[in-house]
């Protein structure tokens, strides 16, 4: 599996546009800046909705209305995050694919996606009964808390990707090499 990921990453790394993006100071930085600044649209609004569910903010505003009205800018933000995120990985594919933090981040993103799906389903099923209650029912509160914690850890992991502590081109323990998926005798990093 790791060999397959490595081969795919090397193939991407050898494409013309991957080189163009990572060798262009402005293009790479603009993509990364857009990725980071869109946190305000995606994560910021998601956290507002989560805080409403937990009763920490907007307790006197209809939970359903708040979630529905803020949904569009939030989704727009996540689309931009997703596109710029893919471009960032495409610009530095081998290092990203073998980054411990990137791998944890992807795992957490999958958890977040499942959590969001379950949250949405429970929210649609139960909304009429508690819309103006300061706090959402327990199941939704747990979902909101999972979302807050997981997304915060995702931001930390995203920030850690920039650091080279566990990169495959340095001597690492077997555990780290296993998680990062380092390949014996690999030539591209």
Question: Cβ closer to another protein: 124 or 187?
Answer: 124
Counting Cβ atoms within 10 Å, is residue 137 exposed (0-12), middle (13-18) or buried (19+)? middle
Q: Hey, is 136 helix, strand or coil? A: coil
Backbone angles phi and psi of 92, in degrees to 5 = -130, 70
CB of 116 to another protein, least distance (A): 16
Largest CA distance in the chain: 61
Minimum distance from CB of 119 to another protein (Å)?
Answer: 18
Distance of CA 177 to CAs 49, 119, 124, 159, 180, Å? 39, 36, 44, 20, 5
Q: Quick one: 10 or 130, whose CB is closer to another protein?
A: 130
User: Quick check: 62 and 132 in contact, CB under 8 A?
Assistant: yes
Site residues for another protein per CB under 8 A = 26, 29, 33, 36-37, 39-48, 51, 57-58, 60-61, 65-66, 69-70, 73, 152, 155-156, 158-160, 162-163, 165
Residue 166: CB minimum distance to another protein, A = 11
Q: What's the min distance (Å) between Cβ of 62 and another protein?
A: 8
Q: Toward another protein, which CB reaches closer, 125 or 156?
A: 156
Cβ closest to another protein, residue 90 vs residue 101 = 101
Nearer to another protein (CB atom), residue 10 or residue 116 = 116
Closest CA to 48 of 116, 148, 128: 148
Minimum CB distance to another protein, residue 156 (Å): 4
């Amino acid at each position: 599996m790791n060999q397959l990921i490595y081969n795919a990453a090397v193939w991407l790394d050898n494409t013309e546009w991957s080189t163009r993006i990572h060798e262009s100071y402005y293009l790479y930085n603009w993509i990364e800046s857009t990725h980071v600044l869109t946190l305000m649209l995606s994560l910021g609004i998601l956290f507002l909705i989560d805080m409403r569910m937990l009763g920490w903010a907007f307790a006197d505003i209809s939970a359903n209305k708040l979630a529905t009205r803020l949904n569009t800018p939030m989704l727009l933000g996540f689309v931009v995050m997703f596109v710029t995120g893919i471009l960032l990985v495409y610009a530095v594919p081998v290092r990203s694919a073998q980054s411990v933090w990137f791998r944890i981040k992807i795992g957490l993103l999958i958890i977040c996606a499942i959590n969001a799906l379950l949250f949405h389903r429970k929210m649609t099923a139960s909304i009429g009964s508690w819309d103006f209650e300061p706090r959402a029912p327990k199941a939704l509160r747990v979902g909101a808390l999972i979302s807050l914690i997981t997304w915060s850890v995702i931001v930390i992991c995203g920030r850690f990707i920039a650091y080279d502590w566990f990169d495959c081109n340095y001597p690492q323990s077997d555990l780290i090499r296993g998680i990062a998926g380092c390949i014996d005798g690999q030539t591209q990093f």
